[in-house]
Amino acid sequence: FWKLCDRAYLYMKNLLGSAEAGYTHEEKHAMWNSLYDMFHMIFTDKDFGFYNDRLVRISFFMALESGKVGQFERAIKELEKLLIYLENYKGFTGISHSSLLVNKIKIGQSNIAKSSGETLGHAYLRYLDNNDNVFASIKNDPRYTSIKERLAAL
């Protein structure tokens, strides 16, 4: 089941990035939210371990789609979720899941491959900066500023 989530994330990213699919921003948000919910259904103990990384990414894409349709309160909440998952991911050293669907999985730092030396916090700060036009109307919101500051520290 955890592989289902992992592969669903990769498939979803590819599908929603396809211009010919023609999804609206609200539809994209709904689909990311469905995958987010799927993770929560499988990891019922909320002990996501390594998969906090995927929830960081999903939360970012939900916030981005929210911003594109002017749902800035929703985007702020999703970026705040991103920070929680990112902080949890940073603290990850190893895990033995208790959720029934994944309780036989043992994952540690040795199972994780990094593609660059950039921290995830800095990567998402860069992604926010690259999408500054999406969040332009809230760039002076103290919550948005705080999110960016926290990302810079992670």
Say whether 108 sits in a helix, a strand or coil.
strand
Evaluate whether 75 touches 66 at the Cβ level (below 8 Å): yes
In the chain, % of residues over pLDDT 90:
53
Average pLDDT, the chain: 83
Calpha distance 13→38 (Å, rounded): 15
Amino acid identity of 21? Answer: A
Confidence band of 26 (pLDDT split at 50, 70, 90)? very high
Q: Which two tokens stand for residue 9?
A: 């994330």
Closest CA to 134 of 68, 71, 80: 68
pLDDT exceeds cutoff 60 at 43: yes
More confident residue, 99 or 33: 33
Residue by residue, DSSP assigns 113-131 as: --SSSS-HHHHHHHHHHHT
Say whether 154 sits in a helix, a strand or coil.
coil
- The pLDDT tens digits for 70-91 are 999 999 999 999 999 998 887 7
What is the pTM assigned to this prediction? 0.82
What pLDDT score does 99 carry? 53
